[in-house]
Amino acid sequence: MAEFAVPQPARRRGRPRGGASDARGRILAAAIHEFGERGYDGATVRNIAAGAGVDAALVHHYFGTKADLFAETVDFPIRPDRVIPGILAGPREAVGESAVRFVLEQFEDADTRKRAVALLRAALGNRLATPLLAGFLQRELIDRMVASLDVPDAALRASLAASQIAGLIIARYVARLPALAEASIDELVERVGPTVQRYLLG
């Protein structure tokens, strides 16, 4: 997890000096400060650009959206915000199983799993990191799910589905409960997928 005590860079306007790598580094340092001070929702690309002494357009040029910048700032290895909307747009009867399978298959990659577990451990035990990660997931994942569901109590449904998958991840990869750690992806998809499906669309 990135350290959030990085001092805010000097505020300089105009074109960056020192080349692309210097500009990227100053943007990342400013982003760490901004996310740490204001949280995910409160942070803005404009403030991050001001902190780095560059134009907001340069932030977008190097990092894309605020979600992309946040993911790079905290070394977020999985991007459900990019995939879940496509899953929700697919066959409605397969949404639950598809979502569970996507997450589990991402964690099967050793490097992704190592980085994700480290991030989860940091987020669960750090008073600054926990709301920051929660804000990202709320805005970029749960809110996107809510917009796609078009069902009553969509926010509660999406939050329940997210909590089910998050609990599975923590039990299987962080706590490593033996039965869950040893189960195959297919078995977990078969057992957990219908529950997520019921939360979302049942």
Distances (CA, A) of 106 to 47, 80, 190, 199: 33, 10, 17, 22
Contact (CB, 8 A) for 158 and 200: yes
Domain that holds residue 165: 80-201
Q: Tell me: do 141 and 168 sit in the same domain.
A: yes
pLDDT at 14: 44
pLDDT digits (tens, 9 = 90+) for 164-201: 999 999 999 999 999 999 999 999 999 999 999 999 99
Classify residue 184 by its DSSP letter: -
**Residues 67 and 141 sit within 8 Å (Cβ to Cβ):** no
Measured distance CA(136)–CA(134) in Å, rounded? 5
Same domain (yes/no): 144, 181: yes
More confident residue, 36 or 6: 36
pLDDT digits (tens, 9 = 90+) for 55-102: 999 999 999 988 888 888 877 778 878 888 888 888 989 999 999 999
Tell which residue, 126, 145, 173, has the closest CA to residue 1.
126
Q: What is the pLDDT of residues 121-172, one digit of tens each?
A: 877 766 767 777 888 888 888 998 898 888 889 999 999 999 999 999 999 9
Whether residue 131 is found in the same domain as residue 63: no
